A and B are shown apart, each in its own frame.
Chain A
Amino acid sequence: MTAQTIQESKKGRRFRLWWQSVWSRFDDVPLLGWLVGALVAVGLEYAVGRPFAQLLGMRKSPALFGFLFILKEPWLIPSAIVYVAVMYILPIAAVAKVTAAVANKTAAAMLRISTLLSVAIHLVLLYAVLHIWTDVLPYRLIVVKLTLIAIVITLSLNVVNGYMGEFSCSHPGFISLGAYGASVVTILLFDDPGPWLFPLALIVGGIVAAIGALLVAIPSFRTRGDYLAIISLAFTFIIKSFMENMEFVGGPRGLGGQPNWASLPVVFVVTIIAIWVINNFVRSILGKALNAVRDNEAAADAMTVNTRRTKMTAFLFSAFWAGVAGGLLAHVLAFINPASFGLQKLAEVLAMVYFGGLNSVVGSIVGAVSLNLLGEMLRPLEIWKWIVIPLMLILMMIYRPTGLVAFKEFDIVALLQPKKTTKGDE
């Protein structure tokens, strides 16, 4: 028995060593190199993906790396693995490795000219990758859009539940307010709206949500403790009932027919703006004041921090972005109803925040992306999905109680830096 476990741990260690040795070959690849690799891979798939998939016996390219096959058509798993290896892994690895030296020089040169330029070029590349990848199958497009929106929602909730350390359950209410607010602007207020109205509609959605947040904040921020959790949970239910009883927005039947303005570039740009603004905020002293209030409010007060204003600002700010995300969501789905902003939504949002990691922008991005993709990948499991995902969350809470990437600062410049090469030709 013990010999066996030792054997296994040896095997495990050998695997880990092998894995490390594989990764160490890519130590010198900067982010730019990975993006170029991904671009080549999705371009390759765009060009020959479909015939290649048919050659392997699949009707079309696997939508999410073949995960949807696992239960439905398990005999296709080997084909899916081959497909993923040939279409994604090999080209990305090869291009990243081959271009590493050039990519490093380019990354360094761009940062020397201006950080903004470097950020812009990386974002354009990232967008190009997403655009080409989602162009292959319409299903991917909706998954990517919903994932980007989930990032905004998760990040905004992390401001309150992570950075500020309160427990707010009102996010579905804010998303709902934002979704309805934006939809009212684009559907009901104007006869012949143009797409120029969309940014305005999103901002209106955000402001409506922020006003809702004010109603929650005034009674619940007088003291610390569980009050916010209880009041905010009640708020979510109140908003749901309120919307069900508002006939001019369709009552319980919901509101449909939102114009198709939430295209991928729009959602992408709004997400990037949200990440940028929220990251700016949490890295400033005014934003760090949230951490001070969370860790010791009396000390924060004694160190000149206006604790009440800090909490109010952060809560309204968080609600604003949830509202904007709600506006996007309404226009991506072109239909909203009160029932979709209830407890299930709350569970999803909280899961993404706590899975990804508290007090961390990267964590929220990781949490939103991984849980969203996981949810889609496990779709064939149907109702069992809701056993697998909570189980993963429980394991997470046991082994990493603060989440995957908690308490990390998101430093964009560090991310874009060229990597040191082992040869030292810098």
Chain B
Amino acid sequence: MPLLEVKHMTHFFGGLRAVHDFNLSIEKGEIRGLIGPNGAGKTTIFNLITGVYTPTEGEILFQGQPIVGLQPHEIASRGLSRTFQNLRLWRHMSVVEHIKMARYSKLTYGLVGAFFDTPERRRQEEESDEIAHRLMKELGISHLADQIVTNLPYGAQRRVEMARALATEPDLLFLDEPTAGMNPEELVEMMDIFRQVHEEFGMAIFLIEHRLRVVMELCERIQTLVFGEVIAEGTPDEIQNNPKVIEAYLGEEDIH
């Protein structure tokens, strides 16, 4: 049974067909890539699967369970976490608070604990704190723990978002252009982080990228999306040499 299975997903925004007959199957521990020119509908696909939008047609199974119509937080607590293309951090919160927040669905102390500071609450908050510190160490942001995120450089903010997504203990991680706006050194570091977390936590990764270097190096299989339709699917080599892809996508841009 695949970890995530999307069957015949179609979505309309009013009269505009944003996604047409999209199919996807991701196995446990796989790294999968999704490329395509701007406006092809890549982020829409992420939003459809993670519950931000409900698809007009189609079926989505996560760990064998249908998840169409569930709230994003319900899907996220089942083990499908994500990062955002344009960083969505909480601007008044510190780094450690960000990561602890992602433990929300794992807390069981309830309102009684929240109001009355019970021993159970203290235990769970301490546990979240430990997990947060472990993740910060993993991603090399321990020294920034108490900084407010808006004061951090861009690369560090990306790491915070990554750590936050990992704190939900995902089986499948969606990364929406995780290296956007990074310089080459940061890019190399970030790719090391992807490999590191993939090795360590063993979760599957579904990656949207603009930079072909990243997808080509990391992904086992790649889909190419143009105007909401998958025009090609295969290994990086196959994609790179596919004439349709070259015409629709690679032809317009420099290959780095």
**Chain A interface residues toward B at CB < 8 A:** 277, 280-281, 284-289, 291-292, 294-296, 298-308, 313, 359, 407
- Smallest beta-carbon distance B107→chain A, Å: 6
Say yes or no for B21: interface residue by CB 8 A criterion: no
Q: Are A307 and B73 in contact (CB under 8 A)?
A: yes
Cβ–Cβ contact A291 & B164, under 8 A: no
29 contacts between A and B (CB under 8 A): A277-B115, A280-B115, A284-B109, A284-B114, A284-B121, A284-B125, A285-B103, A285-B125, A286-B104, A287-B114, A291-B92, A291-B93, A292-B93, A292-B101, A294-B90, A295-B89, A295-B92, A295-B93, A296-B88, A296-B91, A299-B84, A303-B101, A303-B102, A303-B104, A303-B165, A303-B167, A303-B168, A304-B77, A305-B101
Q: Does B58 touch A at the CB level, under 8 Å?
A: no
In the complex, chain A residues whose CB is within 8 Å of the CB of B88: 296, 298-299, 302
- CB-contact partner of A302 in B50, B100, B121, under 8 A: B50
Identity of the chain B residue whose Cβ is nearest the Cβ of A303 in the assembled complex:
B102
Q: Report B81 CB to chain A, min CB distance, Å.
A: 7
Are B114 and A280 interface neighbours, CB within 8 A? yes
Q: Give chain B nearest CB distance to A142 CB in angstroms.
A: 30
Given contact pairs A302-B81, A306-B73, enumerate 7 new A-B contacts (beta carbons under 8 Å).
Answer: A285-B103, A291-B92, A292-B101, A303-B81, A303-B102, A303-B104, A308-B71
* Interface SS, A side: helix
Docked pose: A292 CA to B105 CA in angstroms: 14
**Min CB–CB distance A54 → chain B (angstroms):** 49
Report whether A295 and B121 are in contact in the complex, using a CB–CB cutoff of 8 Å: no
Decide: B90 and A304 in contact? CB cutoff 8 A. Answer: no
In the bound complex, residues from chain B placing their C-beta under 8 Å from that of A296 are: 88-91
> Taking each of B88, B89, B92, B105, which has the highest tally of chain A beta carbons within 10 Å of its own beta carbon?
B92
B residues less than 8 Å from A280 (CB atoms)? 114-117
Closest B residue to A307 by CB, please name it.
B73
Which A residues touch B101, using CB under 8 A?
285, 288-289, 292, 300, 303, 305
A residues near B76, Cβ cutoff 8 Å: 301-304
Look across to chain A and name the residue whose beta carbon is closest to the beta carbon of B80: A302
Given A299-B90, A303-B76: A286 touches B52 (CB 8 Å cut-off):
no
Chain A residues, Cβ within 8 Å of B229 = none
For A289, list chain B residues within 8 Å (CB): 101, 104
- In the bound complex, how far is the Cα of B165 from the Cα of A289, in angstroms? 15
Shortest distance in angstroms between A292's beta carbon and chain B's nearest beta carbon?
Answer: 5
- Check if B11 is an interface residue, CB within 8 A of chain A: no
Complex: chain B residue closest to A284, CB-CB: B114
CA distance A2 to B128 in the complex (A): 58
CB-defined contacts of B81 to chain A, threshold 8 Å: 302-303
With a CB–CB cut-off of 8 A, which chain B residues contact A298?
52, 72, 84, 88
Q: Does B111 contact A (CB under 8 A)?
A: yes
Q: Shortest distance in angstroms between B163's beta carbon and chain A's nearest beta carbon?
A: 11
Q: A277-B115, A280-B115, A304-B102 are in contact. Are A285 and B107 (CB under 8 A)?
A: yes
The answer for the CA separation of A289 and B73 in the assembled complex, in Å, is 12
- A308 CA to B74 CA in the complex, in Å? 12
CB neighbours (8 Å) of B115 from chain A are 277, 280-281
Interface pair A301/B72, CB less than 8 Å apart: yes
Cβ-defined contact, B71 with A281, below 8 A: no
Find chain B residues with CB under 8 A from A303 CB: 73, 76, 81, 101-102, 104, 164-165, 167-168
B209 at interface by CB-CB < 8 Å: no
From A281, A287, A291, B90 is in contact (CB under 8 Å) with A291
Contacts of B89 in A (CB 8 A): 295-296, 299
- Bound-state CA distance A285–B102 (Å) is 9
Q: Per a CB cutoff under 8 Å, which of A288, A302, A304 touches B93?
A: A288
Looking at the complex, which one of A281, A286, A301, A407 makes contact with B107 (CB distance below 8 Å)? A286
Closest to B50 in A: A302
Do the beta carbons of B168 and A304 come within 8 Å of each other? yes
Q: Does B82 contact A (CB under 8 A)?
A: yes
In the complex, A368 Cα to B94 Cα: how many Å?
A: 27
Residues of A contacting B164 in the complex (Cβ-Cβ under 8 angstroms): 303
Q: Does B97 contact A (CB under 8 A)?
A: yes
Nearest chain B CB to A104 CB, angstrom units:
27
Q: How far is the CB of A14 from the nearest CB of chain B, in Å?
A: 34
User: Among the interface residues A277, A298, A303, A313, which one has the most CB atoms of the partner chain B within 10 A?
Assistant: A303
Which chain B residue has the least Cβ–Cβ distance from A297?
A: B88
* Bound: A281/B113 CA distance, A: 8
Closest partner residue, chain B, to A359 (CB atom)? B92
A281 to B115, CA, bound (A): 5
| Docked pose: A254 CA to B162 CA in angstroms | 58
Is there an interface contact between A407 and B102, defined as CB atoms closer than 8 Å? no
Contact between chains at A285 and B82 (CB < 8 Å): no
In the complex, which residue of chain B has the Cβ closest to the Cβ of A277? B115
- Contact partners of B121 in chain A: CB under 8 A: 284
Which among B71, B76, B114 has the greatest number of chain A C-beta atoms within 10 A? B114
Name the residue among B73, B111, B117 with the largest chain A CB count within 10 angstroms. Answer: B73
Q: State the Cβ distance, A89 to closest chain B Cβ, in Å.
A: 37
Specify the chain B residue showing the minimal Cβ separation from A276.
B117
B107 nearest CB neighbor, chain A only: A285
Contacts of B111 in A (CB 8 A): 286, 313
Query: What 0/1 pattern do residues 118 to 130 of B give for CB contact below 8 A with A?
Result: 0001000100100
Residues of A within 8 A of B102 (CB): 303-304
B91 touches A295 (CB 8 A): yes
A285 & B93 in contact (Cβ 8 Å cutoff): no
Distance of A363 Cα from B114 Cα, bound (Å)? 21
Q: In the complex, which residues of chain B have a beta carbon less than 8 angstroms from the beta carbon of A288?
A: 93, 97, 100-101
With A285-B104, A285-B125, A288-B101 as contacts: A304 and B92 at CB distance below 8 Å: no
